[in-house]
Each structure stands twice: as C-alpha cells, then as structure tokens.
C-alpha cells in the first residue's frame, strides 16, 4: 500500500517533500512509509534525503495530565464554592496532585491558600491539558508554552526522522520483482534474458550460528582438565561406559555380596551379558584375595564366583578405569604416575533434584613409593584450592577399596556451612598387590562429581535443569564462560 502510494505519487509529482506529511495525508503509518522508502532506495527506484526535526513528546507525567487534567485544575475543581479545610482537601486528592496543584493554583491566583482554602475565581480553563493534547496530536504550540511545559517536565524533546524523496535512476511506477537465483527453468525457457537479478548484498549479516554451543558441564570439565594438567597429571582413557563386574568391583576388593552390586543399584547389561576375556592369572589372584586373603590379609572368607565377575554393567564409578590403569602399570617396571579422568558413570538411582541415574565423576590418583595419608591431604589441598575451595575438612569414611578413607568437606561461603564435596582414600594392599605392584607402592586417590561444582558455579539447584531431556536449550546456547581460579 505504501509502496504503491509512493511510486504512484512520483509518477505525477517531482518530489515528496516530507515523508511525515505524506504519511499523514495518505493515512499510512509513518514507520511503514520509512521502511518502503529504505527498500525502494536500496534498489534505486528513488533517491531519498534525510530530514530531521526536533519535536516534543509527553513524559509519563504529561500523559496522565493529558488524560485526567492538570493537577491545578483537579485541585480547583475539588474546592467547593463555600471553601474547604486544607486537611479535608488533602484527603480528597492524590498526594502529588495536591502538592503540585496547590503550588500551581496558588501561582495562578485561582485559590486563596490558608488553613481554609477557597476559590478566588469562578471558572478556570485547563490550558495545560489542552496544550498537552495538542502536542500529543503532533500540533505546534508557541515557544513560551513549550518552555513552561518543559520546565514542569511534562514534555521532552525527541528527534523526528523522515525523508524527502525523488525519482531514482531505476524509477518505475511499479516495482519489478527481481529474481534471486538463476534456475534451470530460467535457462530452459530462455526468460533469463529479460529477468532482472537481485544484486548480492555482501554486507548483509548471516544468520546467527545455531550449533556449536558448549554445555556448562563441558566448560567446567575443561577448566578441571587444565588444573590437572598444570599439576602434572595424565588423562586416563575413559571411553568405555560398559565394564565388567570384575574391573568395576572384584579387582577393587569389593565383595560379591556387597549391596552396591545388586541390580537395585547397578545397571547390568542384558546383551552382551558377560565379558569375553579377563587376564586369567590376575583373576586367579583376585579370587584368592577375596576368598582367603594373602599379603597379610584375611580376605573375606566366602566362595568367589567367576560368573558374578563376568557380568557386564554400566560402570558405576571411574575407579574402574583407575584400576585398569594401575593393573597395566604393574605389568611394567615400576614408574610413579599421576593420573586423572573426568567422565560419565551410571547408577540405578531414584531421580530427584540432586540425583540422576547418570552423572560425571572427576577422579585423580597418585601412585608412588612410600606415599602417606599426609600426601593425600596435601594433594587434596592443592587440587581443591585451585578450584576455589581452600577451606577443607576430612571425615573418616569407608570404601571397600581404600583404607584409610576420608570424605572431603569444603566450607561453602554462600551457604555458610560445610558441604560434602568428595571422597578419597589410599587403595588397599588387597587391591594393589594382586596386580603385581611393588610392596612399597602406595596409591592415593580421590573422586567427586562434576555436576556438584557446576551447579554451584552456575547457580542451578535442580540437576534436571542441567542435564537430561528437560534441559532448556536456551541454557545450552547462552551460558557464561567458566574460569576456575587458575593460580
């Protein structure tokens, strides 16, 4: 509609002098006229020149007076012919109307102000309201009144932008639809000869990239990886979610009757339900340490079943990976090592705001001759202070594969209390010696979830908002970068 009007008008007139007036005369919204002018100008159907005008618009306060009348008139009308006490009048009016109204009506000599307020004139005109209405309708008013309204902060200046328009080099009374692409049909029909092609716009912005956003868990994981690497740790290969019970439990000296090995806690695989191969001589030593001990241990004294060890499962902790790595290490002449991993584990757990059936574990271990609990405490302080947790406390705990074991607590400044952040310990001789590691080799290790620190860092209190099918894609597309205290 605007386009037809503009091109049609220019057919018989040399110029549209003012797009604002043009829009008003043709009953078209000025914004629409401006958009069409920009587009026609782009295709050089028209030439356009900017026009700027200072105009005035009503402030919020100005708008309310344009509706309800100025405060001085509201006040005047609230004063009955016989007069009224100040308190009574104040009760009848909005506080700001009373305050401004008394000042202005007094200045205009409309009312007599004292304890008693009375009218001094019989009738008043609301000039302020009239002027505000005229400004709202785009009409002009004289400079003195503008000054007065501006001083009362009822109007504020605004630059109005429009155009004057003339025919351009490609002017036509009707726009030809430009072709955007040369098609096979254009060539077959031969109409490409007559077609006008749209020019390429090399400065057009491309659509925002939709892919390639990094999830908060991956950002925090990257930071943690960097910290481990700074500390001289090597990453362990964690690319197997499926593990045998042997590597997940038996090799860790976790007895076969242990409740964690129940299907209520662990996901077992139906297909393939068992592992194909295990290192037989090592399996034999693990069986023996469970049944009757050795290495100065009494063992558990039960009949160890190979079938139970063969069962495939989704690994319940990345300590299964650490165990495989320590076993490999034991097959060669001993070398001290520092290893870490950050990857997914699975537990058959009831899902709630802090638990999912799958999560990520961060695990670190140091393997060297003669390490002590003091070394473990030292390395934990070093590690956790790098992620901004420098106040730590430890509590004795139990794991089948570590002795001693310690739960790790950190003082959370925000919550003002100690929160459990991880688990740690020194791997038992019953775990390390059957592998073939030298007798004086000690392994200190710790583990924690990746979700816990990520939720704290990103202020998320329900794990289902962070991970899983209910996660808002907006969170994944837009989340802050993560920089853990890199010292």
Q: Interacting stretch for ligand PHE, rule CB under 6 A, among 36-44, 176-184, 192-200, 421-429? A: 421-429
Q: Specify whether the CB–CB gap between 253 and 432 falls below 8 A.
A: no
Whole-angstrom distance, CA of residue 341 vs CA of residue 344: 10
Q: Specify whether the CB–CB gap between 449 and 220 falls below 8 A.
A: no
424 is a site residue for ligand PHE (CB under 6 A): yes
Q: Residue from 445, 450, 460, 484 that binds ligand PHE (CB under 6 A)?
A: 445
399 is a site residue for ligand PHE (CB under 6 A): yes
Whole-angstrom distance, CA of residue 23 vs CA of residue 282: 89
Q: Which residue lies nearer to ligand PHE by CB, 23 or 421? A: 421
First to last CA, the chain: 65
- Nearest in space to 327 (alpha carbons), one of 464, 427, 179: 427
Whole-angstrom distance, CA of residue 229 vs CA of residue 198: 54
Q: Which residue lies nearer to ligand PHE by CB, 64 or 319? A: 319
Phi, psi of 441 (to 5 degrees): -80, 130
Six-digit token string for 201? 């716009």
Q: Interacting stretch for ligand PHE, rule CB under 6 A, among 40-48, 369-377, 407-415, 441-449? A: 441-449
Q: How far is the CB of 242 from ligand PHE (least distance, A)?
A: 17
Q: Site map for ligand PHE, 201-230, x if CB under 6 A? A: ------------------------------
266 is a site residue for ligand PHE (CB under 6 A): no
429 is a site residue for ligand PHE (CB under 6 A): no
Q: Interacting stretch for ligand PHE, rule CB under 6 A, among 51-59, 281-289, 301-309, 422-430? A: 422-430
343 is a site residue for ligand PHE (CB under 6 A): no
Q: Interacting stretch for ligand PHE, rule CB under 6 A, among 110-118, 130-138, 419-427, 459-467? A: 419-427
Q: Interacting stretch for ligand PHE, rule CB under 6 A, among 121-129, 134-142, 439-447, 477-485? A: 439-447
Q: Interacting stretch for ligand PHE, rule CB under 6 A, among 53-61, 431-439, 442-450, 466-474? A: 442-450
250 is a site residue for ligand PHE (CB under 6 A): no
Window 285 to 324, contacts with ligand PHE (CB under 6 A): 317, 319
Q: Specify whether the CB–CB gap between 438 and 369 falls below 8 A.
A: yes
Whole-angstrom distance, CA of residue 46 vs CA of residue 65: 43
With a CB cutoff of 8 Å and minimum separation 6, the contacts of 230 are: 386, 486
Window 344 to 373, contacts with ligand PHE (CB under 6 A): 363
Q: Residue from 425, 429, 434, 453 that binds ligand PHE (CB under 6 A)?
A: 425
- Nearest in space to 338 (alpha carbons), one of 423, 228, 422, 237: 228
Site residue total, ligand PHE (CB under 6 A): 11
Q: Specify whether the CB–CB gap between 160 and 135 falls below 8 A.
A: no
Q: Which residue has the tokens 């002009």?
A: 140
Q: How far is the CB of 204 from ligand PHE (least distance, A)?
A: 53
Q: Which residue has the tokens 């782009």?
A: 42
Six-digit token string for 297? 């241990």
**DSSP string for 376-411:** HHHHHHHHHHHTT---EEEEEEEETTEEEEEEEEEE
Q: How far is the CB of 317 from ligand PHE (least distance, A)?
A: 4
Phi, psi of 291 (to 5 degrees): -75, -50
Window 93 to 152, contacts with ligand PHE (CB under 6 A): none
Q: How far is the CB of 481 from ligand PHE (least distance, A)?
A: 28
Task: Provide the binding-site residues for ligand PHE, judged by CB under 6 A.
Answer: 317, 319, 363, 399, 402, 423-425, 445-447
């Amino acid at each position: 509609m605007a386009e037809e009007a503009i091109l049609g008008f220019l057919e018989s007139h040399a110029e549209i002098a003012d797009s604002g007036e043009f829009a008003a005369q043709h009953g078209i919204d000025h914004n629409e006229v401006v958009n069409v002018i920009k587009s026609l100008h782009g295709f050089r159907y028209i030439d356009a020149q900017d026009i700027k005008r200072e105009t005035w618009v009503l402030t919020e306060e100005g708008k309310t007076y344009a509706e309800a009348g100025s405060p001085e008139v509201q006040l005047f009308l609230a004063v009955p012919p016989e007069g009224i006490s100040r308190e009574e009048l104040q009760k009848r009016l909005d506080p700001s109307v009373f305050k401004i109204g008394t000042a202005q009506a007094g200045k205009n000599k409309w009312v007599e102000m004292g304890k008693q307020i009375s009218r001094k004139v019989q009738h008043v005109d609301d000039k302020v309201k009239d002027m505000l209405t005229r400004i709202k309708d785009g009409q002009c008013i004289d400079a003195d009144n503008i000054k007065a309204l501006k001083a009362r902060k009822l109007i504020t200046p605004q630059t109005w932008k429009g155009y004057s328009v003339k025919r351009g080099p490609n002017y036509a009374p009707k726009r030809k639809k430009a072709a955007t692409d040369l098609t096979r049909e254009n060539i077959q029909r031969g109409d490409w000869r007559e077609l006008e092609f749209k020019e390429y716009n090399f400065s057009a912005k491309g659509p925002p990239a939709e892919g390639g956003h990094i999830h908060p868990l991956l950002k925090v994981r990257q930071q943690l990886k960097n910290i481990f690497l700074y500390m001289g740790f090597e990453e362990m290969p964690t690319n197997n979610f499926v593990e045998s019970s042997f590597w997940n439990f038996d090799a860790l000296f976790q007895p076969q009757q242990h409740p964690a090995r129940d299907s209520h806690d662990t996901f077992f695989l139906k297909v393939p339900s068992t592992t194909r191969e295990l290192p037989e001589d090592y399996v034999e030593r693990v069986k023996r340490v469970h049944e009757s001990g050795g290495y100065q241990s009494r063992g558990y004294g039960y009949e160890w079943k190979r079938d139970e060890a063969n069962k495939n499962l989704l690994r319940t902790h990345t300590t299964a990976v650490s165990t495989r790595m320590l076993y490999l290490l034991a097959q060669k002449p001993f070398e001290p090592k520092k290893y870490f991993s950050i990857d997914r584990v699975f537990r058959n757990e009831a899902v709630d705001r802090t638990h999912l059936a799958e999560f990520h574990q961060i695990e670190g271990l140091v393997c060297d001759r003669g390490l002590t609990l003091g070394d473990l405490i030292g390395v934990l302080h070093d590690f956790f202070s790098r992620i901004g947790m420098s106040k730590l406390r430890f509590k004795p705990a139990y794991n089948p594969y570590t002795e001693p074991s310690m739960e790790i607590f950190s003082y959370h400044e925000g919550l003002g209390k100690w929160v459990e952040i991880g688990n740690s310990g020194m791997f038992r001789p019953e775990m390390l010696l059957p592998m073939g590691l030298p007798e004086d080799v000690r392994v200190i290790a710790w583990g924690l979830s990746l979700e816990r620190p990520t939720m704290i860092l990103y202020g998320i209190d329900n794990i289902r908002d962070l991970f899983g099918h209910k996660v808002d894609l907006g969170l994944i597309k837009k989340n802050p970068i993560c920089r853990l205290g890199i010292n």
